[in-house]
Structure 1
Amino acid sequence: MHDAESAELAALLMRRASLAEELAGRPLVLHSDNGSPMKGATMLATLENKGVVKSGSIPSECNR
């Protein structure tokens, strides 16, 4: 847990999870809200680097 959310912290979490779960080379999709940390350049670059496809919620449609 952190005091604030950020794209840098989200990217760090993805890198650590990828290493811990040995996910390299597997097709992955990360579904998340469209909050600013999930749209930040650092997070998007990390997802692209790891080969993870980003999936986002439709605004005002949190249950989809």
Structure 2
Amino acid sequence: MDHIIPIDDGGDRLKLENLQPVCRPCHNRIKKPLERYAREHGLIWRLPEWCADPAERPAKFRAVTR
């Protein structure tokens, strides 16, 4: 399971709404770079939207799918 908003960034550790199933390769290839981008641009709060709908991600992350 993956925390949509990482715990270090204020995500709730046990809240089901903050959890999603993601395999390790997808997490490392998609989610981790997306988290880094969100942190660098002050957009951590957008991660739930980006995880739910890849079309809402910044352009450079839209082509990346599971």
Q: Same fold (TM over 0.5)?
A: no
Q: Which has the higher contact order (CA 8 A, sep 6+)?
A: 1
Greater fraction helix: 2
TM-score by length of 2: 0.33
Q: Which has the higher strand share?
A: 1
Q: What TM-score, normalized by structure 1, do the two folds share?
A: 0.33
| Structure (1 or 2) with the larger CA radius of gyration | 1
